[in-house]
Amino acid sequence: MYKINENYLKLPGSYLFATTGRKIREFAEANPDKKVISLGIGDVTLPLAPVVIDTLHSAVDEMGKAETFKGYAPDLGYEFLRQAIADNDYKARGADISIDEIFISDGAKSDSGNIGDIFDRDNKIAVCDPVYPVYVDTNAMAGRTGVYLEEQQKWSNVVYMPCTAENGFAPEIPEEEPDIIYLCFPNNPTGSTIKKKELQAWVDHALKTGAVIIYDAAYEAYISEEDVPHTIYECQGAKACAIELKSFSKNAGFTGTRLGYAVVPKELKCNGVSLNSLWARRHGTKFNGAPYIIQKAGAAVYTPEGREQTMNQVNYYMENARIIREGLREAGYTVSGGVNAPYIWLQTPDKMTSWEFFDHLLEKANVAGTPGSGFGPSGEGYFRLTAFGSYENTLEAVERIRKM
C-alpha cells in the first residue's frame, strides 16, 4: 500500500487568502448594494505595458511560422533574457553575476517553494514573523518544521524572527543558529526594508555560521530611498552564502503572465558541492522552461521603453501607497511601509485583533485588507493594505476609512 506525505496533514487550516476571499464573498452576497473595494491580495491591476504587449504579439507571430517557431527552451532559459538580467539587475548595480548563474522560471512563488528540494530535510529554517506564508508552508510539506503548535500559531522547529514596531520591523539576528534563513526586502507583508549595512551584517552572519540565505527581492522595483540594497549581491561575500529570487509580477504586472528567476552563484558551495549544479539538475529534470513568448516579454521589460513604461506603473502604485499612508496617518492610524514597497502596514486601533479589524473595516467601510496575524503570530494587531488597486478606488477607500 502506498503512503502519502504525512507532513501535508500537519498544515493548519486553509490558505490565508482563501479565508479572506470567502469572507469578502459572503459579505458582498449579503450586501448587494455595497461596493466592496479590495486592498487585500497583492495582485496588480494595471494592464501590461505597451512594449510588452507589442513584444508578445511579435513573439506569437514567430510561433506561427515554421522558420521562427520555438520548441523546448534552453534549460536555464533564453540567453537574451538572462543577459538582459545580468546587465540590468546586476552589472548596473555593481554585482557581478554571470548568465549561467541565472535560472529563468515561471515565478518567484514556484522558486521559493521549489528551492527547498536541493536541501536536506534536516535543516532548521529561520523566517521573519510576519512572513509570506509560502516559505513556511513549503518547508512544512518537506518535513522540516516539526509540529504545528496551535495555541502559539508556530511550528516547533522554526526560528521566528519577530518584526514589530519595537524593532522597526527589521528582524534581529537570532541567538539560535538556523541553517536556512529566508529574508524578503522590501518586505511582504510589512512594507519595510533594511539598509545595505544591515543586510551586510546578515551576510557576514551567514558566512560565519555556515547558513544559506534565501533572499526574496520580488519588490525591489519599489525601492525609493538611497542606501537600500537592490540585490543581496551588493553585499560583500553574498555570492558564497545567498540565493536570490526575483519576479516580474510586481515590477511589470506579470502576476497572470508568470515569469521569474533565481540566482544561484557558482561560489555558493556546501562542503565543495556547488549549489548551482544542484539547482541546474533540479531545473533541468523537473521543469521545462517558461514559454518562449513570455521570456521575450520579460526581455522587453529591460528595453528603454520597457523600463520607462514599467517604472510609470510602479510610480502609479506608489502614489496609491502615499495616499493610503498619509490618509491613514491623518486619520490617526499608526502606519509604516509604503515608501519602498507597495504595502502599508498599520496597527489596528482600539486593541482590535487583526481579524476583528478585518471584519470592522469590511462592515463599516466596505474595504477589504489582510489581517496581519495571517502572516504569523507577530502580525497580530496589524493589518496590511496594498497599493495595487486603481487610483480612484484607493482614494475612495481611504476616504471611507477616514469617515469610519
Map the footprint of its own copies across residues 160-199, applying CB under 8 A.
179-180
CB of 319 to its own copies, least distance (A): 16
CB of 256 to its own copies, least distance (A): 4
**CA neighbor of 132 nearest in space, from 149, 113, 104:** 113
Across the strands, what pairs with 216? 184, 245
CB of 207 to its own copies, least distance (A): 11
Q: Which of 12, 47, 94, 168 binds its own copies (CB under 8 A)?
A: 47
Q: Considering beta carbons, is residue 113 or 174 the nearer one to its own copies?
A: 113
Q: Which of 41, 173, 201, 311 binds its own copies (CB under 8 A)?
A: 41
Joined grid coordinates for residue 305: 521603453
Q: Do 368 and 384 touch, CB atoms closer than 8 A?
A: no
Contact between 267 and its own copies per CB under 8 A: no
Q: Which of 230, 258, 325, 384 binds its own copies (CB under 8 A)?
A: 258
CB of 49 to its own copies, least distance (A): 9
Q: Which of 161, 218, 275, 323 binds its own copies (CB under 8 A)?
A: 275
Q: Considering beta carbons, is residue 147 or 273 the nearer one to its own copies?
A: 273
User: Under 8 Å CB-to-CB from 32, ≥6 apart: which residues?
Assistant: none
Which part of the chain contacts its own copies (CB under 8 A), choosing from 6-14, 26-34, 216-224, 298-306?
6-14
* Bridging pattern class, strands 260-263 and 242-247: antiparallel
Q: Which of 85, 163, 203, 211 binds its own copies (CB under 8 A)?
A: 211
What is the contact mask toward its own copies in residues 361 to 390, using x (rule: CB under 8 A)?
A: -----------------------------x
Q: Considering beta carbons, is residue 134 or 201 the nearer one to its own copies?
A: 134
Contact between 212 and its own copies per CB under 8 A: yes
Joined grid coordinates for residue 2: 502506498
User: Three-class SS of residue 368?
Assistant: strand
Q: Considering beta carbons, is residue 162 or 291 the nearer one to its own copies?
A: 291
Q: Considering beta carbons, is residue 168 or 210 the nearer one to its own copies?
A: 210
Residue 382 φ/ψ region, left for φ over 0, alpha for ψ in the -120 to 50 degree band, beta for the rest: beta
User: Three-class SS of residue 158?
Assistant: strand
Contact between 303 and its own copies per CB under 8 A: no
Q: Do 301 and 251 touch, CB atoms closer than 8 A?
A: yes
Joined grid coordinates for residue 131: 512572513
Contact between 113 and its own copies per CB under 8 A: yes
Residue 285 identity? T
How many residues touch its own copies under the rule CB under 8 A: the total is 81
Q: Considering beta carbons, is residue 11 or 173 the nearer one to its own copies?
A: 11
**What is the separation, in whole angstroms, between the first and last Cα of the chain?**
58
Give the span between the Cα atoms of 159 and 177, in whole angstroms: 9
Residue 381 φ/ψ region, left for φ over 0, alpha for ψ in the -120 to 50 degree band, beta for the rest: left
Element (H, E) at 245: strand 242-247
Q: Considering beta carbons, is residue 277 or 334 the nearer one to its own copies?
A: 277
Torsion angle (degrees, nearest 10) of CA 88, 91, 95, 99: 80
187 C-beta neighbours (distance < 10 Å), count: 26
Contact between 315 and its own copies per CB under 8 A: no
Q: Which of 242, 264, 293, 321 binds its own copies (CB under 8 A)?
A: 293
Contact between 11 and its own copies per CB under 8 A: yes
In Å, how far from its chain's centre is CA 304? 25
Contact between 204 and its own copies per CB under 8 A: no
Contact between 216 and its own copies per CB under 8 A: no
Joined grid coordinates for residue 156: 516547533
Q: Which of 46, 170, 173, 207 binds its own copies (CB under 8 A)?
A: 46
CB of 349 to its own copies, least distance (A): 30
Q: Considering beta carbons, is residue 149 or 270 the nearer one to its own copies?
A: 270
Residue 351 identity? K
Rg (CA), the chain: 21
Q: Which of 71, 150, 226, 392 binds its own copies (CB under 8 A)?
A: 71
Contact between 137 and its own copies per CB under 8 A: yes
Joined grid coordinates for residue 188: 511582504
Across the strands, what pairs with 182? 214
Q: Considering beta carbons, is residue 62 or 356 the nearer one to its own copies?
A: 62
Q: What's the longest Cα–Cα distance across the chain? A: 66
